[in-house]
């Protein structure tokens, strides 16, 4: 850190040690939504270490409901301090005050957040500003225009009506948590709690206290009132074990006992507690392969894998892309009080992208565009250069005009699609244009180039 720092006898190391040990959480973001500093108080709020969060993006956490609603994008947009009440996935209530710091050009360089729990009617820094809580995906059905997702939703509807344990599989970002929430809304426990636990965020040494809770005086540093565990919070409802593959073998053994016996013992308690919870697991890993190499318990695998629901990647269900785009545009326009629109050129680029990050990547991109673009219409030149290979190919051609770049983008889209579909009719259907226009584009970008 800053070794030269010396203020009234406090050197840099001592200063940062003081910040690191504050009761309040202190979190600092840079201008690109990345966490650059976080003190030890995060362990109390999220049951994880600063090292597990520093260097990651705000967007890595917001989609898995580590806290909600979010204030950071609003601070970047409004360029002023904001305050908000939040709740973490561990059901901790927080009061967060976010203050932007500016560079010499009046651009935000950092956002410093002071986060306090155990709120007792504290006065908000800016009580007139109300952030609309827009966890809209919890109120909407998952997009299922494609035949692949229609099959998934048919199975989800069946499984939601029974209490059998199930596992949701699929690549990272495909929407496994959303599917689990939708099952909760459709199911017999819809009026009970839904607890989403990211297993990767819970250190092994905290597994028992977080899952089972503890009684008064269970250990040094324990709250005098004891603490409810995640199992108790989810009692009679649903417990989603996201990234279950990240649990240690010892944690897997303890979880298996709960699933088998339907009971657990809080840390420091002398008797067990009965539990009635529907368990949904989710993972982007191949658990069967993990069983084969000994990193996942076989008995737990068969216990949770009564029914498997596989969510296909977005590139395998492109019919859903435009509907998702329009849904996210509506969501974030409403959230930030804006009326942004996407040009047809942008929509074509989004249709052709491979979406390795799936729905989450698409959602992040749409939010960033809505928040950062000042014009009414979001066009191709607003897309981040590190997102699309098509844009990277022309980075060195800065001397091209906007229209010339658009022609290159159009050629890329048409040539890629025609290579895949090889007919004007199929190209027209894929691009949602007339066959006449498709023929003209083929002449312009394919047959025209072959004659040169």
Of these ranges, 4-8, 50-54, 310-314, the one predicted with the greatest mean pLDDT is: 310-314
pLDDT score of 22: 83
Which structure tokens are listed for 109? 């360089």
| 340 inside domain | yes
pLDDT at 367 over 70: yes
| Domain total of the chain | 3
pLDDT score of 297: 96
Between CA 182 and CA 160 the distance in angstroms is: 9
Residues 263 and 399 in one domain: no
Instruction: Render pLDDT for 78-121 as a digit per residue (tens, 0 to 9).
Output: 888 888 888 877 667 788 888 999 888 888 999 999 888 754 43
Residues 363 and 443 in one domain: yes
Of these ranges, 110-119, 191-200, 306-315, 428-437, the one predicted with the greatest mean pLDDT is: 306-315
DSSP code for 143: P
pLDDT score of 424: 85
Contact 323, 293 (CB under 8 A): no
| 174 inside domain | yes
Q: What is the pTM of this model?
A: 0.60
Contact 39, 49 (CB under 8 A): no
pLDDT score of 250: 93
Residues 152 and 114 in one domain: no
Residues 283 and 152 in one domain: yes
User: CATH number for the domain including 211?
Assistant: 3.40.50.300
Q: Out of 312, 330, 352, pick the residue that ends a domain.
A: 312
Residues 334 and 283 in one domain: no
Residues 82 and 180 in one domain: no
Residues 297 and 258 in one domain: yes
Q: Which domain holds residue 100?
A: 6-133
Percent of the chain with pLDDT over 90: 35
Q: Out of 312, 327, 357, pick the residue that ends a domain.
A: 312
User: To the nearest whole number, what is the mean pLDDT of the chain?
Assistant: 82
Between CA 287 and CA 282 the distance in angstroms is: 10
pLDDT at 254 over 90: yes
pLDDT band at 130 (very low <50, low <70, confident <90, very high): very low
Q: Out of 280, 312, 344, pick the residue that ends a domain.
A: 312
Residues 252 and 380 in one domain: no
pLDDT score of 451: 41
pLDDT band at 222 (very low <50, low <70, confident <90, very high): low
Instruction: Render pLDDT for 12-48 as a digit per residue (tens, 0 to 9).
Output: 777 778 888 888 889 999 988 899 999 888 877 777 7
Region for residue 416 given its phi and psi (left: phi exceeds 0; alpha: psi -120 to 50; beta: otherwise) = alpha
Residues 284 and 320 in one domain: no
pLDDT at 331 over 60: yes
User: CATH number for the domain including 367?
Assistant: 1.10.8.60
Contact 378, 340 (CB under 8 A): yes
| 1 inside domain | no
- Element housing 116 (H / E): strand 108-117
Contact 81, 97 (CB under 8 A): yes
Tell which wins on pLDDT, 314 or 142. Answer: 314
pLDDT score of 70: 83
Residues 350 and 276 in one domain: no
Residues 128 and 176 in one domain: no
């Amino acid at each position: 850190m800053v070794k030269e720092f010396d203020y009234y006898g406090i050197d840099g190391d001592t200063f940062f040690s003081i910040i690191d040990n504050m009761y309040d959480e202190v979190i600092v973001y840079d201008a690109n939504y990345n966490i650059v500093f976080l003190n030890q108080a995060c362990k109390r709020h999220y049951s994880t270490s600063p090292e597990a969060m520093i260097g990651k993006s705000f967007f890595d956490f917001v989609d898995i409901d580590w806290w909600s609603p979010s204030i950071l994008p609003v601070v970047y947009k409004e360029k002023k301090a904001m305050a908000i009440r939040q709740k973490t996935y561990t059901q901790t209530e927080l009061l967060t005050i976010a203050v932007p710091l500016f560079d010499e050009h009046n651009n935000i360089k950092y956002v410093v957040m002071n986060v306090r729990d155990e709120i007792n009617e504290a006065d908000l820094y800016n009580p007139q500003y109300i952030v609309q809580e827009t966890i809209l995906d919890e109120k909407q059905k998952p997009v299922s225009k494609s035949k692949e997702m229609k099959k998934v939703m048919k199975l989800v509807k069946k499984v939601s009506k029974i209490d059998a344990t199930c596992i949701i599989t699929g690549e990272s970002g495909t929407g496994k948590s959303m599917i689990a929430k939708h099952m909760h809304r459709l199911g017999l426990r819809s009026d009970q709690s839904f607890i989403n636990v990211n297993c990767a965020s819970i250190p092994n040494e905290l597994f028992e206290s977080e899952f089972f809770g503890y009684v008064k005086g269970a250990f040094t540093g324990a709250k005098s009132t004891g603490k409810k565990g995640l199992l108790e919070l989810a009692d009679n409802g649903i417990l989603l074990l996201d990234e279950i593959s990240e649990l240690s073998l010892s944690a897997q053994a303890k979880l298996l006992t709960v699933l088998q016996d339907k009971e657990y013992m809080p840390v420091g308690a002398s008797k067990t507690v009965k539990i009635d919870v529907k368990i949904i697991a989710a993972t982007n890993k191949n658990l069967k392969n993990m069983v084969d190499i000994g990193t996942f318990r076989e008995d737990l695998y068969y216990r949770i894998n009564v029914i498997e629901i596989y969510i296909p990647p977005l590139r395998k269900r492109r019919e859903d892309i435009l509907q998702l785009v329009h849904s996210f545009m509506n969501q974030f326009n409403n959230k930030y009080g804006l009326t942004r629109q996407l040009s047809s050129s942008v929509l074509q680029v989004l249709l052709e992208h491979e979406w390795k990050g799936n729905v989450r990547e698409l959602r992040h991109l749409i939010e960033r565009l809505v928040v950062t673009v000042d014009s009414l219409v979001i066009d191709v030149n607003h897309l981040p250069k590190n997102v699309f290979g098509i844009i990277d190919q022309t980075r060195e051609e800065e001397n091209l005009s906007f229209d010339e770049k658009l022609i290159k983008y159009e050629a890329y889209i048409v040539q890629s699609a025609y290579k895949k579909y090889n007919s004007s009719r199929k190209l027209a259907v894929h691009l949602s244009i007339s066959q006449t226009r498709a023929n003209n584009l083929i002449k312009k970008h394919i047959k025209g180039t072959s004659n040169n």
